[in-house]
């Protein structure tokens, strides 16, 4: 996976628009009942990915509107999860890394039966097709995750921030 | 005609890891598997079941992506994400690491032996295909580096009888190479798939080839004679199997004994197709004759027909499992 890491102090998007974070999800009585089958829904998937850190800013993907609940589609019965993410600028060099972080978060959190597809929101990135193809190639994703320096960057994106 | 795939045995082959590939030894007695746990395991029949006969570890620092038996069955080659290919020599019941082939810039994705056993091909994410020559002293020398692909090369396979090599790539194309004055040259580029080509397999005669892709199709290619018999080869797509696979098709394999075509798919299914023998050979027709929709609990990465026992099929999965199936036809 050839995701370029920006190492200098130059920010690609110096003044991103910041969005409001969602409130805590309210648990329903049936969700708390262990005897009731409780399929995984869009909001639960969104909760897993909304606090992922942006690689560049001390902000979450939700605060940058990179991920939105309406762009999460889960079908528990068919074990599929689709997530579209929107890079903050069309030439964002972090797009692959952000997509990889979302994918890794979901791979680690969901049962193995789920097929996880992570794509760029159509029309929002100059290299949309190339980034989507890399993210869909599980062999390249597996190789990327065996690269310790890349894995470290992904884990940083996935680490819980202390605010 | 009733046809079915029945499960013979499931093996937890590479626990907590992926099983990427399985390969039968030429006499069909052993099955080698490899995976994300960096090991290679050798499986053999004992009584009524398949058991692990040996574990080859410490050969690779990262995932072992594919393994290949030499035509004589005495050597095993393993391709790894650590950018090397290991050659293992069979010693009685065990294997010892003989040599390590280095040179690729990054992950080696596939390795394949030529039918003579004197040549070995490897391919890598570095976009190149390397051909290695093996001498009688077990020395390996790289004789050529071919750069016909523009992206990650996923698979290499040799023609069953000729020294003809084919490769499949992330660039959506298939290339076919031939030796010309000590140099290997790309003599045909097969275009048609609209996404990554994951695997290739020649039929028993080598006149046709099956390919499978991330575009969820399988294509059948046929060689046509060229006017001069020299220069470029002419391979045409004569059939596309679409609508059968729900996700990426990771592997396709043509049984040399029965002609049945099996596929491994990211939708967890194993499928078997058979050709309608009455159809025009220039417009072949394949029908789905058997499938197991939940063959594994996760993606199926590989399918392999036993070379000696007709209908015996092995598959492996992201779940780390191997499954052995029997494909039966009843007239």
In our burial notation (b when 16+ CB lie closer than 10 A, e otherwise), range A99-129 reads bbbbbbbbeebbeeebbbbbbbbeebbebbe
What is the spatial distance between Cα A51 and Cα A158, in angstroms, rounded to a whole number? Answer: 8
pLDDT of residue B190: 98
Q: Look at A137 and B214 and tell me if their CB atoms are within 8 Å.
A: yes
pLDDT of residue B107: 98
pLDDT of residue B182: 79
Contacting residues of B for A148, CB less than 8 Å apart = none
Contacting residues of A for B266, CB less than 8 Å apart = 115
pLDDT of residue B183: 86
Contacting residues of A for B152, CB less than 8 Å apart = 140
What is the spatial distance between Cα B117 and Cα B114, in angstroms, rounded to a whole number? Answer: 5
Which among A112, A139, A140 has the least Cβ separation from residue B319? A112
What is the spatial distance between Cα A148 and Cα A154, in angstroms, rounded to a whole number? Answer: 10
Q: Look at B196 and A115 and tell me if their CB atoms are within 8 Å.
A: no
pLDDT at B191 over 60: yes
A117 within 8 A of A82, measured Cβ to Cβ: yes
What is the spatial distance between Cα B132 and Cα B138, in angstroms, rounded to a whole number? Answer: 12
Chain A residues bordering chain B (beta-carbon distance below 8 Å): 112-113, 115, 133, 136-140, 142-143, 146
| Mean pLDDT of the residues in chain B | 95
pLDDT of residue A22: 81
What is the spatial distance between Cα A70 and Cα A64, in angstroms, rounded to a whole number? Answer: 15
Which among B107, B195, B196 has the least Cβ separation from residue A143? B107
Q: Look at A143 and B81 and tell me if their CB atoms are within 8 Å.
A: yes
pLDDT of residue A4: 43
What is the spatial distance between Cα B294 and Cα B299, in angstroms, rounded to a whole number? Answer: 10
Q: Look at B36 and A142 and tell me if their CB atoms are within 8 Å.
A: yes
Task: Kindly write down the DSSP assignment for every residue of B18-29, as one continuous string.
Answer: -EEEEEE-TTSS
Give me the mean pLDDT over the B66-72 stretch: 97
User: What percent of chain B has pLDDT above 90?
Assistant: 91
pTM of the full structure = 0.93
pLDDT bin (cut points 50, 70, 90) of residue B230 is low
Q: Look at A142 and B125 and tell me if their CB atoms are within 8 Å.
A: no
Start-to-end Cα distance in chain B = 5
pLDDT bin (cut points 50, 70, 90) of residue B122 is very high
């Amino acid at each position: 996976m050839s995701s370029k890491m920006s190492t200098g102090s130059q920010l690609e998007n110096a003044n991103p628009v910041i969005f409001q974070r969602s409130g805590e999800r309210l648990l329903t009585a049936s969700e708390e009942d262990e005897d009731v089958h409780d399929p995984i829904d869009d909001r639960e998937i969104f909760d897993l990915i909304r606090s992922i850190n942006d690689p560049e800013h001390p902000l979450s993907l939700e605060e940058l509107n990179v991920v939105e609940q309406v762009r999460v589609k889960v079908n528990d019965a068919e074990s599929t999860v689709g997530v579209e993410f929107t890079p903050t600028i069309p030439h964002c060099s972090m797009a692959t890394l952000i997509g990889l972080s979302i994918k890794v978060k979901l791979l680690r959190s969901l049962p193995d039966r789920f097929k996880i597809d992570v794509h760029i929101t159509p029309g929002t990135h100059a290299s949309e097709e190339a980034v989507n193809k890399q993210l869909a190639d599980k062999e390249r994703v597996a190789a990327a995750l065996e690269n310790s320096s890349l894995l470290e960057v992904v884990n940083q994106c996935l680490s819980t921030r202390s605010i | 005609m009733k046809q079915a795939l029945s499960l013979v045995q499931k093996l937890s082959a590479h626990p907590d890891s992926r099983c990427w590939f399985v390969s039968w030894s030429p006499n069909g007695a052993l099955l080698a598997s490899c995976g994300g746990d960096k090991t290679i395991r050798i499986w053999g029949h004992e009584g009524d079941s398949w058991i692990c006969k040996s574990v080859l570890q410490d050969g690779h620092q990262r995932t072992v992506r594919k393994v290949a038996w030499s035509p004589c069955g005495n050597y095993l080659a393993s391709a790894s994400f650590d950018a090397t290919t290991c050659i293992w020599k069979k010693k009685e019941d065990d294997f010892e690491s003989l040599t390590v082939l280095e040179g690729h810039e990054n992950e080696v994705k596939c390795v394949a032996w030529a039918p003579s056993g004197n040549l070995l091909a490897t391919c890598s994410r570095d976009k190149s295909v390397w051909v290695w020559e093996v001498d009688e002293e077990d020395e390996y020398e790289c004789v050529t580096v071919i750069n016909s692909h523009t992206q990650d090369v996923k698979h290499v396979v040799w023609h069953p009888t000729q020294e003809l090599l084919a490769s499949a790539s992330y660039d959506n194309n298939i290339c076919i190479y031939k030796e010309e004055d000590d140099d290997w040259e790309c003599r045909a580029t097969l275009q048609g798939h609209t996404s990554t080509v994951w695997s290739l397999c020649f039929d028993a005669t080598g006149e046709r080839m099956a390919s499978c892709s991330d575009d969820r199709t399988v294509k059948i290619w046929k060689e046509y004679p060229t006017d001069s018999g020299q220069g470029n080869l002419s391979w045409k797509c004569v059939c596309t199997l679409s609508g059968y696979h729900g996700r990426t098709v990771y592997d396709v394999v043509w049984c040399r004994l029965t002609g049945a075509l099996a596929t491994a798919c990211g939708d967890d299914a194993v499928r078997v197709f058979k050709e309608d023998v009455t159809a025009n050979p220039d417009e072949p027709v394949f029908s789905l004759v058997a499938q197991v929709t939940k063959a594994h609990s996760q993606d199926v990465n590989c399918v392999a027909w036993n070379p000696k026992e007709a209908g015996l099929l092995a598959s492996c999965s992201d779940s780390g499992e191997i499954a052995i199936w029997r494909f039966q036809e009843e007239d």
